Structure 1
Amino acid sequence: MKRRTLLQLAAGAAAAGILPRTAIAAAGQSAAPLEELRLDYAYYSPTSLVLRRFGWLEQEFKADGTNIKWVFSAGSNRALEYLNGNSIDIGSSAGLAALLARANGNPIRTPYIYSRPEWTALVVRKDSPIRGLADLRGKKIAATKGTDPYLFLLRALQVAGLKRADIEHVSLQHADGRVALEQGRVDAWAGLDPHMAASELESGSRLLYRNVAFNTYGFLNVREAFLASHPQQLARVIKAYERARAWVRANPSEAASILAEEAKVSLPVALLQIKLRSDFSQALPGARHVNALRAAAPILHDEALVKPGTDLNRVVAELVDTRFAQTIVARG
């Protein structure tokens, strides 16, 4: 067996927790330079916007001759599609959306948490007669399938004793869902910031149902093949994300300005998202993230979003990598 193949296998085993981290370092230091690093940026991940704006990854990999390719993700569904299709190496999504993707065969792992947001809620127009979850029966509700808002919608319906069949789901990307709500083409919308915050502040839309516990964390996912063959490069990406996270925590108003410019929303909208609805204090995957996914996982079985018999606890354990970033991520 060729030496490079052995190194890749060793790196993969180490990333899975079979070998100690020293094996990751040894494999990564011996790996060939990476020609191109492909990762996404998204309005729902302000740290990715900061990282892209300041060119810190470009600086980090300049000496290696590695080209940094940024791909825009309009939602978790897009980021996960890109990962599954090998269009990007690293992509950002909601935790429950990542679990759904992994359970259905997307070969990803999560070594880093980019935020703890309250980024979704059920939204209605300011003049809507809808006053509670029970009033959603028979109504048209917009949501982007395969994302945290869509899964939030399903869990919220359960709270009222409703099922997906009790409403008319209208599949739209997040920005289009806002437009459909405000134009009266749907009765409610499972929103996502910054679009949701903009609809609140600019159109007077009302948050019908909020539940922070139903918002899963922001997961930075990596293709397993990339993790196995380029663990050192992944570690350098996470270090750059850590730099961006520290900057956002120290400069929330400036980070909001970047978000406002990138997403083309007002500064008050961006400030609402970053200062009031995002927590950037915990980036290392751990028990709280595992437990959040385990609590949310039953909805995937209840709504037949995964194959019958899928062991979601096992899938959670396979997805959430609590070891890789232990020596990289700052505590607290």
Structure 2
Amino acid sequence: MAAAVFALGLPAPARAEEAPREIKLDYAYYSPESLVIKKFGWLEEEFKPDGITVKWVLSQGSNRALEYLNSGSSDFASTSGISALVSRANGQPVKTVYIFNTQEASTLLVAKDSTITSVPELKGKKVAATKGTDPFFFLLRALNAHGLNKNDVQIVHLQHPEGRTALERGDVDAWAGLDPFIAATELEAGSKTIYRNPAFSSYGYLNTTDTFIAKYPQHLQRVLNVYERARLWILAHPDEAIAIVAEASKQSEPVIRQQFTRANFTKAIPDEQHLGTLKATAPLLLQEEIVRKGTDLDTYIGELVDDRFARVAVETQAKAKGQ
């Protein structure tokens, strides 16, 4: 594996790569790969011979995942692409190394009995969203597409599960949701989607840091090889994957099956589709002052992604399967 890593263009160390005592990862209900890996103990199995322990921390949204990454509580963060970009632009050493889901990440929902049917009708209304996550940026893009901005609505900042609860209780007029909570409120409470646009999603990015890449490239590669194993396993065993996500998230299997209708596990390597939505959202991030005025977001988009390890992971698993 060392040869494969150096073939990526990374400098060969003068001595054997230092090994971490522990590898810390997040798991999230919006990242089925993480749940599959955790369920089967594949990373523990991978690193046990080296005496390296694996620690898991639950991320309930991109904002939390990035907090853990940037504080050192985790070495990996499962986030939306926009969230990773904003973090990078704000000075954090976030680096995207893998795509875990090219999914439709968010929709705008209202309660079952709501008379609201369109985005313009949200003007002056309360809308729940989790700041710093894909649904939050989805909301901004949806408003912008309809001639509105964040000041035209009252954004109530709640974590995703609380946003669902607030919608169903009538505490807010709409909610920019995230699966599996979108699927749960659709099936269990009759909540209605009033706006969807898959092109406004920024997809599921697996991130680490510049430091981890520089210090532990071989260990990073082994983590991504396991992620790729999980992605292929999900594609081959969707029903079993749905059962695993349902068990972990404490949602019903019909809810997770609904979630999977918006999921796409066919791409692991960041490509122009993923970067395109970042570029399309960049002007809005400046306009809404999500990043500092004058920030050169094109530069940060170029710095954000390192796809070399994902490419090796895809090739490694394809060879293992004889493809």
Whether TM exceeds 0.5 here: the answer is yes
Contact 1:28–1:232 (8 Å) recurs in 2: no
Q: CA RMSD in A?
A: 1.6
Equivalent residue, structure 2, for 1:281: 266
Query: Any idea what SS the aligned residue of 2:100 has?
Result: strand
Tell me by how many angstroms 1:325 deviates: 2.5
Counterpart code for 1:140: K
Paired residue for 1:297, among 272, 282, 288?
A: 282
Counterpart code for 1:54: F
TM-score (norm 2): 0.94
Tell me by how many angstroms 1:111 deviates: 1.1
Paired residue for 2:292, among 286, 304, 307?
A: 307
Tell me by how many angstroms 1:180 deviates: 0.3
Query: Any idea what SS the aligned residue of 2:313 has?
Result: coil
Paired residue for 1:162, among 148, 151, 154?
A: 148
1: distance between equivalents of 2:295 and 2:80? 20
Contact 1:142–1:188 (8 Å) recurs in 2: yes
2: distance between equivalents of 1:157 and 1:45? 27
Tell me by how many angstroms 1:131 deviates: 1.1
1: distance between equivalents of 2:240 and 2:7? 40
Equivalent residue, structure 1, for 2:312: 327
TM-score (norm 1): 0.91
| TM-aligned CA distance change 1:88 to 1:131, over 3 Å | same
Paired residue for 1:116, among 78, 102, 117?
A: 102
Paired residue for 2:27, among 41, 46, 55?
A: 41
Counterpart code for 2:305: V
Contact 1:45–1:115 (8 Å) recurs in 2: yes
1: distance between equivalents of 2:94 and 2:58? 19
Contact 2:105–2:202 (8 Å) recurs in 1: no
Instruction: Indicate the percent of aligned positions where both proteins have the same amino acid.
Output: 52
Q: Does 1:146 align with 2:132?
A: yes
Equivalent residue, structure 1, for 2:17: 31
The count of aligned residue pairs is: 313
Contact 1:34–1:64 (8 Å) recurs in 2: no
Residues 254-285 of structure 1 show CA distances to partners (whole Å, capped at 9, x for unaligned) of 101011111111100111112x1111001011
2: distance between equivalents of 1:163 and 1:286? 29
Contact 2:35–2:245 (8 Å) recurs in 1: yes
Q: Does 1:266 align with 2:259?
A: no
Contact 2:268–2:310 (8 Å) recurs in 1: no
Contact 1:134–1:160 (8 Å) recurs in 2: yes
Gaps (5+ residues) in structure 1?
Answer: 1-14
Contact 1:29–1:232 (8 Å) recurs in 2: no
Runs (4 or more) in structure 1 with deviation over 4 Å come to none
| TM-aligned CA distance change 1:29 to 1:45, over 3 Å | farther
